[in-house]
Amino acid sequence: MHDLVIIGGGITGQTAAIYAARKRMDFVLIAKELGGQFLESGEVLNYPGIVKTTGAEFSAIMEEQLRFNGITPIEGEEARGIEKIRGGFRVSCAGGRTEEGRTVIIATGARPRRLGVPGEKEFARRGVAYCSICDGPLFSGKEIAIIGGGNSALEGVDFTKGIARKIHLINLTKEFTAHEYLVEKVASYGNVEVIDEARTTAFYGDTLLRGLRYERGGATHELPVDGAIIEIGRVPNTEFVEGFLDRTDEGHIRIDCWTRASVEGVFAAGDCASGEEYQYVIAAGQGCMALLKASRYLSHLRKE
Q: Is there a catalytic annotation at residue 131?
A: yes
Strand partners, 29: 6
Distance CA 153, CA 140 (A): 18
Distance CA 85, CA 244 (A): 13
Q: Is there a catalytic annotation at residue 272?
A: no
Distance CA 20, CA 281 (A): 18
Backbone dihedral angles phi then psi of residue 138, each to the nearest 5 degrees: -65, -20
- Per the residue annotation, which of 3, 93, 134, 226 is the catalytic one? 134
- Per the residue annotation, which of 3, 131, 271, 272 is the catalytic one? 131
Distance CA 124, CA 237 (A): 20
Spell out the residues 6+ positions from residue 213 whose beta carbon is closer than 8 angstroms to its own.
200, 201, 202, 203, 204, 220, 221, 222, 223
Distance CA 105, CA 108 (A): 9
Instruction: Say if residues 169 and 194 touch (Cβ distance below 8 Å).
Output: yes
Rg of the chain's alpha carbons, rounded to an integer? Answer: 21
Q: Is there a catalytic annotation at residue 134?
A: yes
Distance CA 167, CA 194 (A): 8
Strand partners, 103: 4
- Per the residue annotation, which of 3, 135, 226, 271 is the catalytic one? 135
Q: Which residues belong to the active site?
A: 131, 134-135
